[in-house]
Each structure stands twice: as C-alpha cells, then as structure tokens.
Amino acid sequence: MINLIKVTLITVCCALFFSASSIAQQKITPKRHYDVAAFLYPAYAAGDPRLRPFWPSGIGEWETVTNMQDRNPGHYWNRKPVWGTINEADPAVMSMEIDQAVNHGVNVFIFDWYWYDGRPFMETTLDSGFLKAGNVNKMKFYLMWANHDVNNYWDTRLFKYHDDNIIWQGSVSREEFEKICKRNIDKYFKSPQYYKIDGKPVFMIYDLPNLVKGLGGITQTIDALKWFRNETKKAGFPGLDLQFTMWSSNFNFSGFDAGKSKNPQSDMIKQLGFTSSTHYQFAHFVNVNDDYLNILENVKKEWAKIDGSFDIPYYPHVSVGWDNSPRTGKSAVVRNNTPANFEKGLRMAKGYIDEHPKQTPLITINSWNEWTETSYLQPDNVYGYGYLDAVKKVFLEQ
C-alpha cells in the first residue's frame, strides 16, 4: 500500500512538473506581432470639391463603381459594397472602418497621398476622416506619395483620351519638394499615430523616375533626399525610413553610373538614401492575367531575387487581385483569387517575415478599398467578409 502511494505521488509530481514546464514554455514563446498595413485610396469621399471634375455626382470614385452597369450593360463586373457607398471622410464612418480593420488584423493604413498644382489632393479622407475618428488611437498610418502624373484615367467620360491629356504633373521642383517635405514633417510625422520604425517616420515614394525628373537628375535627387532626412532629424526624430516602391527588381535608370557594380539597382537605391522597400501592386511586376496561384509562385520568385540583390529590408507585399474594367471597360484579370487563395498569399508573406527575424515584421496589402481596380479587403456581394477573415485567420488566430 505504501509503495502504491509512493508511485502515485511520483506520478502526480511528474505531471505537475511537465505541466509547469509547458506553461513556462508558453510564457517565453508568445505569439509574434505583425504589422499588417493596407493601402488606402482616399477617393471615396463626399464634400471634396477637387474630386468633382473627375466624379461630378459628389461621391468620389464610388460613381465609377455604381454606374458600371449603366456604362457597360451586362458586363461581368457587378460588385457592390456591403457597407454601401460610404463617405470615408466622415469620422463616424472611419471609426467603423478602423474597428473592422483592427478586429481583422489590419493595424496600419498606408494613405495614398497626392500633391498637384501646388497643393494637396484627396487629403480629406485622412484629415477629416481618419485623424478625427474617435478610435484613431487603435491604428497607425503612414504616407505613400503617389507622385504620378494625372490624365483622364479617373474620368470614365474621357478615358479613351487619357494618354493625350496631362492634367497635372506629379514631378516637382526642388522648391516644391522642400515645401512638401516640411509640411508633412510638421503636419503628419509629429502625429502620435504616424507609423515609425525604430522611431523613424516611414515615408514611401511611388514614382522614382518622376521624382528624379522634377528634381533634375540623380545627383540632384540624392541631395534633395539627403536634405529631407536631415530636416526630419532637425524635427527631433532619429532619422527617416525612406521606403522605395519596388516595381520590377530589374529596373534601369538613366543618369546613374553603375560603373563596375555587381548590383547597380541596389547601389543606386542606397545612394539615394532609401532604407526599405515594398511593392504597391502585383500588376507592377508579374503577369496578372493569370490564375492567382500561378501569380503567387512568380511573386515568390521575385521576392527571392530581391532578397539576393538588395541590402535594404524588403517588406513582403500581397495584392488581393487586379481588374480595372470599372474604369476601362476591359482589363487583364486575376483569376481564382478567392479568399482561400488570398490566405495562401498572406501565409507566404508571413513566412517571409519569419525567415527575416531581424527586420520589422511589416507586411503590405493592396488594398483596403481599391474597388475600381478590384483589389480590396472591404466586404462585397461576392465574397462577403472573406478577404478580411483571411487576414484574421493568418495574423490573429495563430
């Protein structure tokens, strides 16, 4: 009987020991945090007079979404937003969106930010909506300067003439560049909600060739970006995380002397002062007129090329899809981009981050609301909340 009691006590003690070890192991290996950043296209706003030349009804580019069937009767594209044609410049609406984003694992918005004709464009969604939302403290944001030219692309009435009519140029002079940078440092970088890496505000530039064109060449651009970094430091920050929008990894650029460099693209990006990179859209570097799973294989190959060629951190990017026929009537179309397959892309990005533990765990997604390019997380009549739920499964339900 005594031996039996001893055996029982030993068994209980062993069970307690291994249970305690398991708990201790759980405590020292917590779930990893990921920053999931979705690009936000700020054209779905009411009450902004600068949007009316392109969308006269006053609801921004929702006009292009809602009149698609009127312009193209019987067309296969017939998407409808579950939340309706919301005004994202309304802080109450943006509060709802912030809650939905955070509850599904998206904790950063990257605002497409524009500057044309000497002043900002499409800034009302950020200023009046996001920054005035009652729950803005739940999310971070940063800017992607979409410094491309503007033609008739947004105006479906004039789209067929879009190549021949430049309305606004995205390139700016050094004087204008300094005005833009000083304004963004004071107005946005100093916001407690502005996304920073190691204390450095992140600022993304979309169109490098246009930047160089306006500033007068590679040498002048190197000097201007150096000035920008110094001004950011003068404002009290440890530096600037200047983010390069990667298109194809095999880009060439006139005006840069590659010399005997084995990696001229990487050397040029470093000389310009960029400290990180990501993509904006799969359409920029792979054939998107394909099955989504084939696209993911090509994306993975591109990530490997970037990894082997560039010294700065690359933050993996996943696009929901591509189909801009709401604007154009016809388009290359990503096929089979179901929420389940999109989830595979997210897991691929998560795996890339886990394989690069020394860099910030940032992943970018196109996008929160690019309806007219059919690349959005917001719920619709086709997949409901499927894309948002995919993000949640990968990054919150680990």
Burial profile 237-257: b = 16 or more Cβ within 10 angstroms, e = fewer: bebbbbbbbbbebeeeeeebe
Q: What are phi and psi of 56, to 5 degrees?
A: -65, -15
Tokens 């006053």, located at residue: 58
Mean pLDDT of 258-272: 77
In percent, how much of the chain has pLDDT > 90? 81
pLDDT in tens, 146-161: 999 998 888 888 877 7
Q: What is the pLDDT of residue 32?
A: 82
The domains of the chain, with CATH numbers, are 33-395 (3.20.20.80)
Cβ atoms of 61 and 44 within 8 Å: the answer is yes
Q: What is the pLDDT of residue 249?
A: 64
Q: What is the pLDDT of residue 21?
A: 45
Q: What is the pLDDT of residue 392?
A: 98
**Which segments of the chain are extended strands (E)?**
35-40, 108-116, 119-121, 140-145, 196-197, 200-205, 241-246, 276-279, 317-319, 362-366
Q: How far is CA 373 from CA 201, 236, 340, in A?
A: 29, 39, 20
Cβ atoms of 280 and 237 within 8 Å: the answer is no
pLDDT in tens, 217-253: 999 999 999 999 999 999 999 999 999 999 876 666 5
Mean pLDDT taken over the chain: 91
Predicted TM-score (pTM) of this structure = 0.91
Rounded to an integer, what is the distance from CA 251 to the centroid of its chain? 21
